[in-house]
Amino acid sequence: MNTSTFPAVIPRDASPRRAARRVLPGFKLTLGFTVFYLCLIVLIPLSALLFKTFTLTWPQFWEAVTSPRVLASYRLTFGASFIAACVNVVFGLLVAWVLVRYPFPGKKVVDALVDLPFALPTAVAGISLTALLAGNGWIGSLLKPHGIQLAFNPNGVVIALIFIGLPFVVRTVQPVLEDAEKELEEAATCLGATRWQTFSRVIFPSIAPALLTGFAMAFARAVGEYGSVIFIAGNMPMVSEITPLIIIGKLEQYDYAGATAVATVMLVISFMLLLVINGLQGWQRKRSAGNSQ
């Protein structure tokens, strides 16, 4: 009997819709685990922070977060973090450019040293920087006769934040530079573009989102940094006292509500800044996509 005239029987499990749903096996299980993990690690602690802050009345909250000492710590923490992130964007791009574009002896060693702030305990980093930059340190002793003091003042805070934030920019920009199409640069050169025009109009638009991401990561890390800063800052009230130290001080005085109030302000400000940066990243991606079309 000729079976070619009978339609082929397609199993129900082999339907295109069911096959499409099986592209990611275990989606429901992995999604449930992800939501549970985020709630346990992120949402529940943040909720506890907000609930503890709500135990204060509005006058108590306002007094806790706007005292002169706390305001001075805000200015130092966010100002130093912004300056350090800007410096890291410039020098992180230079370091990533050298590691990607130029072969030289000891390149792998330099590439590994970039990750040193990731592996080094922050307290060790703070002690090392203090030993170098203090008045009796190797570098500080050379600068002290000229009236330059880098330790135990806001300058030390910025230097410590630059140290711990540089790898974020380098490791964010480096893969983008490695994947960049060099043919576009060669085409721009053949069309008569200068090196600056090639960088500003061909290379920079492609790495701008990565630079913004590196800036956001370095800034976020710097805002919450504590271990590497307290040793080199001097911790003088109204001068070189960072906000995390204010929070620690309130906790040691059993002022839990005041500590959570200050932490809530830092959380809100950091969240707003990250929203702005993410918006800029989205705008930059749309602009780059529009230019490519």
Which CATH number belongs to the domain containing residue 67 in this structure? 1.10.3720.10
In-domain check, residue 2: no
- In a shared domain, residues 35 and 97: no
- In a shared domain, residues 124 and 252: yes
Q: 148, 68, 136, 117: which is closest to 222 by C-alpha?
A: 117
Q: Angle at Cα 283 formed by Cα 164 and Cα 172, nearest 5°? A: 25
For residue 108, give the amino acid letter: K
In-domain check, residue 272: yes
**Residue 55 has what pLDDT?**
87
Whole-Å CA distances, 136 to 61, 75, 133, 144, 152: 43, 29, 8, 9, 12
Assess contact for 149 and 143: CB atoms under 8 A: yes
- In a shared domain, residues 25 and 131: no
For residue 225, give the amino acid letter: E
CA 157, CA 147: separation in Å to the nearest integer? 18
Q: How many domains does the chain have?
A: 2
Residue tagged 């590497």 (tokens)? 228
- In a shared domain, residues 283 and 149: yes
- CA end-to-end span of the chain: 58
Contacts of 210 (CB under 8 A, 6+ apart): 172, 173, 175, 176
- In a shared domain, residues 138 and 44: no
In-domain check, residue 172: yes
Assess contact for 111 and 95: CB atoms under 8 A: no
84-96 pLDDT per residue, tens:
999 999 999 999 9
Structural domain that includes position 25: 13-54
- In a shared domain, residues 71 and 123: yes
pLDDT of 13 over the 70 cut: no
- In a shared domain, residues 29 and 97: no
Length of the chain in terms of residues written: 293
- In a shared domain, residues 167 and 181: yes
241 Rama class: left (phi>0) / alpha (psi -120 to 50) / beta: beta
**Residue 21 has what pLDDT?**
54
- In a shared domain, residues 44 and 64: no
**Helix/strand/coil for 240:** coil
**Residue 76 has what pLDDT?**
93
- In a shared domain, residues 47 and 75: no
With bands split at pLDDT 50, 70 and 90, how would you rate the model's confidence at 292? low
- In a shared domain, residues 200 and 272: yes
**Residue 90 has what pLDDT?**
94
In-domain check, residue 256: yes
Among the ranges given (14-28, 129-143, 149-163, 275-289), the one the predictor scored with the smallest mean pLDDT: 14-28
Average pLDDT over residues 72-82: 93
170-226 pLDDT per residue, tens:
999 999 888 877 777 778 778 777 788 888 788 888 888 889 889 988 998 899 888
In-domain check, residue 7: no
For all residues of the chain together, what is the average pLDDT?
84
In-domain check, residue 4: no
Query: Which ranges of the chain does DSSP label H, i.e. alpha helix?
Result: 16-21, 27-38, 44-53, 58-65, 68-101, 107-114, 116-119, 122-133, 140-143, 154-179, 182-190, 195-198, 204-223, 227-233, 243-252, 256-292
- In a shared domain, residues 163 and 273: yes
In-domain check, residue 223: yes
